[in-house]
Amino acid sequence: MSLSPAELKAISSAAQWYARLHSGVATDADQVAWRAWLAADPGHHQAWQRMTDVGEQMARVPGALAAPALRGADRSRRQVLRSVLVLASAGSLGWLGWRSEVTRDLFVDYRTGVGERREFRLADGSSLLLNTQTSVNLRFDGRQRVLELLAGEILVSTAIDPAQRPFKVVTRDGEVRALGTRFIVRSQGRGSEVAVLEKAVEVSVSPSKARLEAGQRMAFGPAGLGAMQSSDASVGAWRQGSIIAINRPLAELLADLSRYRRGVLRCDSSIADLKVSGSFPIDDTDLALAALESGLSLRVTRYSRYWVNVSGGATG
């Protein structure tokens, strides 16, 4: 997605203001000047929101990159934000060669944070529901309607288009074309998956194609199209605020829960394959962990708010 000169200028100014206000030496005059800048243009509000999102996500930069950037008294947050400013001004989409989540989220059209779900109405009347940690770019023109799912999970309800433009969701793994339908697409590190709720879609991973009807789902990725499967109650349960597990390995369930909370959530390898069934809330993951602890006699150890380990043999 390309940005206009005005948008780039606003982002650059937002980065400078963010660095100044978080430097530890900001004055009352700085606060007054920042508020005046914020009120001067609606575009400043959008740029500021993007920059505050980046600031909140700094802690999630992988350790190999975060350590040299953040360690040491001579590397203040102000200096780190200056490096973000340089990259934004240059139009770069990488930091030290890494396409970071932080930089990506600066430029996407729609996004959600950890544990957040948001719904949007598109210009053609279609609706788009984003699950946690999801990033989407929109490419609508006179010939087609395309959603580029960069990461995460979306529920799409398409609207009838008088111009009969095709509606597609594109991931790094392939393409899903709507055939007048409601469907869910998820993109993650190991591949993508589509599940059809109403009518049908066509899934393409060159050179193969497959048609899926309501109640069917399919994984697709570097190896091509997966086997067609029937959907169950677990598909799309996040819309109602839960994860439904049906005889699912504990490690997989915890990996899913971890998408809705910050930090590390893991289990000992000795219980990773323990089969779990049940409904677990995603808006209160601590409650979900408490249910696992009591229901399966597991032990949940909290080393900190952001580091939790699940092991066998709860102690009473």
Return the structure tokens found at 82: 């200056």
Do 89 and 176 have their domain in common? no
Return all residues near 219 (Cβ < 8 A) that are at least 6 apart: 191, 192, 193, 226, 227
Do 209 and 116 have their domain in common? yes
pLDDT at 285: 94
What are the backbone angles phi and psi of residue 114, rounded to the nearest 5°?
-65, 125
Q: How far apart are CA 168 and CA 176, in angstroms?
A: 6
pLDDT at 96: 36
Q: How far apart are CA 164 and CA 103, in angstroms?
A: 35
Domain boundary among 107, 128, 146: 107
Quickly list H helices, the chain: 5-21, 28-40, 42-57, 63-70, 77-90, 101-107, 250-258, 285-295
Q: How many CB atoms lie within 10 A of CB 280?
A: 22
CATH classification at residue 187? 2.60.120.1440
Do 117 and 211 have their domain in common? yes
Do 97 and 205 have their domain in common? no
Do 98 and 117 have their domain in common? no
CATH classification at residue 295? 3.55.50.30
Domain boundary among 205, 230, 255: 230
Domain count, the chain: 3
Do 115 and 218 have their domain in common? yes
Residue with tokens 């946690």: 132
Conformation bin of residue 173: beta by default, left when phi > 0, alpha when psi is -120 to 50: alpha
Range of the domain at 224: 111-230
Name the amino acid, one letter, at 267.
C
Do 80 and 141 have their domain in common? no
Return the structure tokens found at 12: 């650059």
Do 100 and 117 have their domain in common? no
Q: How far apart are CA 55 and CA 275, in angstroms?
A: 39
Do 221 and 160 have their domain in common? yes
Do 101 and 116 have their domain in common? no
Return the structure tokens found at 208: 């193969």
Do 98 and 129 have their domain in common? no
**Angle CA 39–40–41, to nearest 5:** 95
Do 117 and 103 have their domain in common? no
pLDDT at 189: 81
pLDDT at 24: 64
Q: Is 267 exposed, middle or buried (0-12, 13-18, 19+ CB in 10 A)?
A: buried
Q: How far apart are CA 101 and CA 60, in angstroms?
A: 9
Q: How far apart are CA 241 and CA 193, in angstroms?
A: 20
Q: In Å, how far from its chain's centre is CA 129?
A: 12
Domain boundary among 47, 80, 107: 107
Which pTM does this prediction carry?
0.68
pLDDT at 3: 59
316 residues of the chain, pLDDT tens digit each: 445 677 777 877 777 777 677 666 678 888 888 888 888 888 888 878 777 665 554 444 444 334 333 334 344 444 444 444 444 444 433 333 334 455 555 678 899 999 999 999 999 999 999 999 999 999 999 999 999 999 999 999 999 999 999 999 999 999 999 998 999 999 988 899 999 999 999 999 999 999 999 999 999 999 999 999 999 989 999 999 999 999 999 999 999 999 999 999 999 999 999 999 999 999 999 999 999 998 888 999 999 888 999 999 754 4
Q: How far apart are CA 250 and CA 256, in angstroms?
A: 10
